[in-house]
Structure 1
Amino acid sequence: MKQGNIDANAFQHYAFLADWNKAHKSNLQPVGETVLGPGRLYSDKYKSVKDIPDGGTVAVANDPTNEARALFLLQAAGLIKIKAGVTSPTVKDIVSSAKHLHVKELAADQTLASLKSVDAAVISATFVEAAGRNPNSAIYVWNANNKQSHQWVNIIAARHDDAKKWYIKALVKSYQTKEVGQYINDHNNGTEIAAWQGAPKAKIVTADTASSASTASSK
Structure 2
Amino acid sequence: MEEYDMNKGVKWVIGIGLVAVVAGGFYAIKQHDKVESKTVTVGIVGDSDRELWEYVKKDAKKDYNVDVKLKTFTDYVQPNKALADGDIDLNAFQTVNYFETQNKNYNGKLLDIGKTYVTPIRLYSDKFKKLGDLPKGATISIPNDPSNAQRALDLLEKAGLLKYNHSVKLPGAKDVTDNPKNIKIKEVQSDQSVSTLKSVDAAVINTNYALDAKLNVDKALYVESVDQAHKGYFNLIATRKGSENKQAYQDVVKAYQTEKTVKHMKDLYGNAEQPAWGKYAE
Q: Distance in 2 between matches of 1:197 and 1:36?
A: 13
Q: In 2 relative to 1, CA 143–196 (structure 1 residues): closer, same or farther, beyond 3 Å?
A: farther
Aligned with 2:94: secondary structure?
Answer: coil
- Residue 6 of structure 1: CA displacement? 5.9
| Residue of 149, 171, 181 corresponding to 2:262 | 181
List alignment gaps of at least 5 residues for structure 2. Answer: 1-82
Q: Of 153, 156, 160, which residue of structure 2 is paired with 1:78?
A: 160
Partner of 1:96: 178
Aligned pairs for 1:48-87 (under 5 A) are 48-87=130-169
Q: Are 2:146 and 1:46 aligned?
A: no
Cα distance in 1 for residues equivalent to 2:240 and 2:114: 13
Q: Distance in 1 between matches of 2:125 and 2:85?
A: 44
- CA shift, 1:36, in A, is 2.0
- The amino acid across from 2:224 in the alignment is W
In the alignment, what sits opposite 1:108?
190
- Residue 155 of structure 1, CA deviation: 0.6
* 2:37 aligned residue: none
Q: Deviations over 1:52-91 (max 9, x none)?
A: 2233221212233332221121122222212134453201
Q: Tell me the SS of whatever aligns to 2:150.
A: helix
Cα separation, 2, equivalents of 1:9 and 1:113: 26
TM-score by length of 2: 0.59
Cα pair 2:141 2:196 within 8 Å, conserved: yes
Identity among equivalent pairs (%): 37
The 1:99/1:9 distance shift into structure 2, 3 A limit, reads same
Paired with 2:118 and 2:154, the residues of 1 have a C-alpha distance of 15
Aligned residues: 200
Q: TM-score, normalised by structure 1?
A: 0.73
Q: Which residue of 1 aligns with 2:217?
A: 135
Residue 3 (structure 1) shift:
5.9
Equivalent residues of 2:112, 2:237 under 8 A apart = yes
Query: Runs of at least 4 residues of structure 1 off by over 4 A?
Result: 1-7, 164-171
The corresponding residue for 1:154 is 235
Distance 1:75 1:24, change over 3 A: same
Unpaired segments of 5 or more residues in structure 1?
Answer: 202-219
How many angstroms does 1:107 deviate by?
3.6
Higher relative contact order (CA 8 A, sep 6+): 1
8 Å CA contact retained: 1:43, 1:138? yes
Paired residue type of 2:190: A
- Offset at residue 33 of structure 1 (A): 0.9
1:217 maps to what in 2?
none
Residues 151, 87 of structure 1: alpha-carbon distance in 2 compared, 3 angstrom cutoff = farther
Residues 152-201 of structure 1, C-alpha deviation per residue, up to 9 Å, x if partnerless? Answer: 32112233334356665554444323332232133124443212242299
Q: Aligned equivalents of 1:36 and 1:61: distance in 2?
A: 18
- Cα distance in 1 for partners of 2:151, 2:125 equals 18
Q: Which has the higher helix share?
A: 2
